[in-house]
Structure 1
Amino acid sequence: MHWILLRGLTREQGHWGAFPEQLKSAFPEHDFHTVDLPGTGVHFHDPSPDNIPAIRQAVRRQVDHIPRPFSILALSMGGMVALDWAQNAPEGEIQHLVLINTSSGFSPPWRRMRPGVWPRVVRLIARRELFERERDILRLTSNREPSLELVKQWYRIQRQRPVSPGNAFRQLSAAARYTPGKKRPMPEALLLASQGDRLVHWRCSSVLEQRWQWTLKVHPNAGHDLPLDEPEWILRQMSDWISRW
């Protein structure tokens, strides 16, 4: 089985760190493809659309070579892209859907981004000191104190493939305005959320669970970047869930 991995706001495939290799070790019969959103990663020179459907269309063009059906694992804003994809995909194109700490217009704004976080996010996007910015992003999205080496890695990513402020704000606008369609995109999906997420309230995932009767698993203390904080927990939840289907 082929999997597409999507990250979130201003993040790219390099920010997955060791997680794709951990996935491959846990599921050796599967192939995992990290794909960048427009305006990030290998596409950092490209303008990002300011709406989720257009971002989804740009991502979909990147994976035309991957055999169908495939599965999608997506984090945060990447989860919005994946959700929009599932609602617009030809029947049978997507086999499994795993959404991590995502949100949608089904939840109120103060849960989609917690009160007080908006000004901090805007300041981080506009900040020019890359090392301090990446360290502060890690401290916002992770509940584990980031190592100096990890901060350096993220700093190097931004030095090599910088996300422009314009692209960052267009992505932020796309995420803030996204509301899925009403139809259930798939009979089943796995929702993973962090109760300790200081960016997005975990009940945004609970809303999707209740609306579409999907499976929700909640970690008690990990941060928004769940693959960074608790990758082994994700692998266990995925293994248990996939074995049922």
Structure 2
Amino acid sequence: MHWILLRGLTREQSHWGKFPRLLADAFPGQHFHLVDLPGTGVHFNDPCPESIAAIRERVRLSVGHIPGPYSLLGLSIGGMVALDWAQHALPGEIQNLVLINTSSAFSRPWHRMKPRAWPRIVRLLSRRELFDREADILRLSCNRPVSLQTVKHWYSIQRQRPVSFRTAWTQLKAAATFRPVPDRPLPDALLLASEGDRIVHWQCSKAFEQRWQWTLKVHPSAGHDLPLDDPQWIIRQMKSWLPR
């Protein structure tokens, strides 16, 4: 099975940290591919499209060398891209779908982005002091203590493959206007949400569960960046759900 992992706002494959290795250890024989959204990571010099649908098509083209069918795991805006892909997939193209702390126009605007988060995120993305900015992003998105080594690593990522403010703003607008089509793309998907998320309300995942009768699991204390806060919890939920 080939998994495509998609990260969140202004983040790239290196921001997954140890999570991909833990996945590979937990699911031997399965393949996990870290794919960057346009404007981030290996594509940091490319312009970011202005809609989730256009981002999805760019991602789809970038994985053409990977044999299908695919399983998709997306965090935040990466989850929107994964959901949009599943809804516009060819028959049999997508096997499994795991969405982490993602949202859509099915939810209230103040749930999709908590009111206190909006101004803080805009200030963070426009800051020029890269080290302090990355440290503040981690403090906002994680509820567990973050090591200085992780902050230094994220600072190094931004120095090597800087994400422009234009890309960040375009991603924000694309996420804010994302509206899935009404039809359920798969009989079941795994929805993972964090009750302690200070950016996106966990009720956004609940909206998918209620609309499409998908499987929802809620972490009682983790923050928005659930793969950093508690990767083993994600793996346990996937192990319980995949044998369905």
Provide the residue aligned with 1:183 in structure 2: 183
Provide the residue aligned with 1:232 in structure 2: 232
The correspondence of residues 128-143 of structure 1 with structure 2, limited to 5 A, is: 128-143=128-143
For the residues of structure 2 that align with 1:145 and 1:222, how far apart are their CA atoms? 11
CA deviation map 1:28-73 (0-9, x unaligned): 1100000000000000000001110000000000111111111001
Runs of 4+ in structure 1 over 3 Å off: none
For the residues of structure 2 that align with 1:223 and 1:116, how far apart are their CA atoms? 15
> Structure 2: which amino acid aligns with 1:103?
S
SS for the counterpart of 2:104 is: coil
Provide the residue aligned with 1:165 in structure 2: 165
The correspondence of residues 193-208 of structure 1 with structure 2, limited to 5 A, is: 193-208=193-208
For the residues of structure 1 that align with 2:101 and 2:167, how far apart are their CA atoms? 22
The CA deviation at 1:144 is 1.1
Provide the residue aligned with 1:43 in structure 2: 43
For the residues of structure 2 that align with 1:198 and 1:123, how far apart are their CA atoms? 16
For the residues of structure 1 that align with 2:128 and 2:50, how far apart are their CA atoms? 22
The correspondence of residues 8-27 of structure 1 with structure 2, limited to 5 A, is: 8-27=8-27
TM-score by length of 2: 0.99
State the identity %: 69
CA deviation map 1:59-92 (0-9, x unaligned): 0001111111110011000000001000000011
Is 1:150 matched up with 2:121? no
Provide the residue aligned with 2:97 in structure 1: 97
TM-score by length of 1: 0.99
Paired residues in the alignment total 244
For the residues of structure 1 that align with 2:70 and 2:208, how far apart are their CA atoms? 22
Is 1:29 matched up with 2:29? yes
> Structure 2: which amino acid aligns with 1:75?
L
Provide the residue aligned with 2:3 in structure 1: 3
SS for the counterpart of 2:68 is: coil
Provide the residue aligned with 1:216 in structure 2: 216
SS for the counterpart of 2:103 is: coil
Question: What value does the CA root-mean-square deviation take over the aligned residues?
Answer: 0.5
Provide the residue aligned with 1:113 in structure 2: 113
